[in-house]
Amino acid sequence: MIPSGGFVAALAGFDQMTIARLKWLLAERTPEQAFAMATGALAVSKPVASLFSRYPDLAARWRAEGKRHTPERSWQRCVDAGVAVVMPGDTQFPAQLLDDPRCPAALFVRGDLDVLDARRVGIVGTRNATQRGRETASEFGYELAVAGVVVVSGLARGIDGAAHRGALAVEGSRPVAIVGNGPDRPYPRQHADLWAAVAERGALISEWPPGTQPDAFRFPLRNRILAALVEVVVVVESRERGGSLITAREAAERGVEVLAIPGSLHSRASAGTNQLLRDGATPATDVTDVLVALGLDQRRAGRARFDSRPRPRDEELSLLEACRGEPRTIEGLLLLFDMSIAETAMGLARLERGGWLRETGGWFEAVDQWADLA
């Protein structure tokens, strides 16, 4: 006997089977009945008849697809790939999606969906990331995983992959990926190791059955699932247009807080994140901002000493480290670093205002060196 998942996988693999059509076919009928109706083996309902009359070639196309994507073969592909088929009526189906206005008709999963019971943060960004952007995504993924937060991303090149690599570097972490093609086909190919690691330790989720190609139109669609599954979305780098901005919009529509990492005004990779900030997104300058958004910031808990100063970053950190060894003047710092006098002066001013440096007679020295900035 073929499990119902075989009929669902077969239908989901049909040519011209949209997400809406699949959901409509499976509504109020079993997967077996839906397959029979779509392939002409069962009398069609009035709505399906109306669909076929509106698209005259569709009935013939689906009859042919029923022979190509048989439930037996489709189920065997799921078994061979270790893929579970879950639907909204199943206990394993993510509760976070049940009331979503565009809830998937089915999910194809490698791994353990119980990981979604933990706190969840999405980290997204451009495929054409800068080196600094990839390092930041990896750092956020790592530190969130250390805090016990599930890192959710799309396993794409650039920011997504870096975030997952950072999370996987933490022993016991359980990352989640939402992918835009069949869960058995690593895309891009160079991320095959990431796909395997995420599926083994966390969960790899798709609304497309095994064998589905990574067609471009599928990736914007998967972003709504990512947005619906997380509590916070962090955009690390984004161009003026792209999938990460679609995810941010989907998140905002669902009341999910969107954080964006500020970037250079002269970097195209930061044009989208700076746009999000201009439009009201919350800035994220380190992982603490994300933990605060989740309500997980424990820095003030108990009697432990707490450093409330804003953490210095990039050039500011270099200036601070130089002043830790011995007091420095602006002129002395200019000799050490390839920075303009304006950049150096502004960096020193921010460090002084933040409580990291004190200035006496033109000499800058570090304040209270107990903090660990490693």
Q: Which of the four pLDDT bands, split at 50, 70 and 90, describes residue 353?
A: confident
Collapsing DSSP states into helix, strand and coil, what is residue 14? coil
Angle between helices 46-54 and 19-26 (to 10 degrees): 150
- pLDDT higher at 207 or 352: 207
> Is 315-366 the same fold as 110-294?
no
Any idea of the CA torsion for 21, 25, 27, 30, to the nearest 10 degrees? -150
Beta carbons within 8 Å of 231's beta carbon, 6+ residues apart: 119, 120, 121, 256, 257, 293, 294
Model pLDDT, residue 291: 94
Q: Which of the four pLDDT bands, split at 50, 70 and 90, describes residue 190?
A: very high
- pLDDT higher at 201 or 307: 201
Model pLDDT, residue 240: 80
Nearest to 270 by CA among 260, 283, 255, 280: 260
Separation of alpha carbons 212 and 107, rounded Å: 13
Any idea of the CA torsion for 150, 152, 155, 161, to the nearest 10 degrees? -60
Q: Which of the four pLDDT bands, split at 50, 70 and 90, describes residue 360?
A: confident
Span 126-152, pLDDT tens digits = 999 999 999 999 999 999 999 999 999
List the chain domain ranges.
4-80, 110-294, 315-366
Judged against a pLDDT cut of 50, whether residue 282 lies above it is answered with: yes
Residue 328 DSSP label: B
Pair 123, 159: CB distance under 8 Å: yes
Judged against a pLDDT cut of 70, whether residue 372 lies above it is answered with: no
Q: Domain 110-294 adopts which CATH fold?
A: Rossmann fold (3.40.50)
- The CATH architecture of the domain made up of 315-366 is Orthogonal Bundle (1.10)
Model pLDDT, residue 374: 44
Judged against a pLDDT cut of 90, whether residue 221 lies above it is answered with: yes
Instruction: Report residue 205: phi and psi, to 5°.
Output: -125, 135
Separation of alpha carbons 197 and 194, rounded Å: 5
| Mean pLDDT (whole number) for 159-181 | 96
- pLDDT higher at 31 or 267: 31
Collapsing DSSP states into helix, strand and coil, what is residue 141? helix
Beta carbons within 8 Å of 33's beta carbon, 6+ residues apart: 42
Q: Which of the four pLDDT bands, split at 50, 70 and 90, describes residue 267?
A: confident
| Mean pLDDT (whole number) for 237-265 | 89
Nearest to 182 by CA among 221, 219, 153, 208: 208
Model pLDDT, residue 266: 76
Please provide the DSSP assignment of 175-192 as one string. -EEE-SS-TTS-SSGGGH
Model pLDDT, residue 367: 82
Beta carbons within 8 Å of 332's beta carbon, 6+ residues apart: none
Q: Which of the four pLDDT bands, split at 50, 70 and 90, describes residue 355?
A: confident
Span 78-109, pLDDT tens digits = 999 999 999 998 999 999 998 888 999 999 99
Least confidently predicted of 47-61, 69-83, 293-307, 350-364 = 293-307
Model pLDDT, residue 207: 97
Average pLDDT of the chain? 91
- pLDDT higher at 214 or 361: 214
Separation of alpha carbons 273 and 235, rounded Å: 7
Separation of alpha carbons 27 and 105, rounded Å: 9
Number of H helices, E strands in the chain: 17, 11
Model pLDDT, residue 370: 46
Judged against a pLDDT cut of 70, whether residue 308 lies above it is answered with: no
Write down the H helix ranges in the chain.
4-12, 19-26, 31-38, 46-54, 58-68, 71-81, 95-98, 131-146, 159-168, 192-201, 218-229, 243-253, 271-278, 287-294, 315-325, 330-336, 341-353
Q: Is the preceding peptide bond at 104 cis, omega within 30 degrees of 0?
A: no
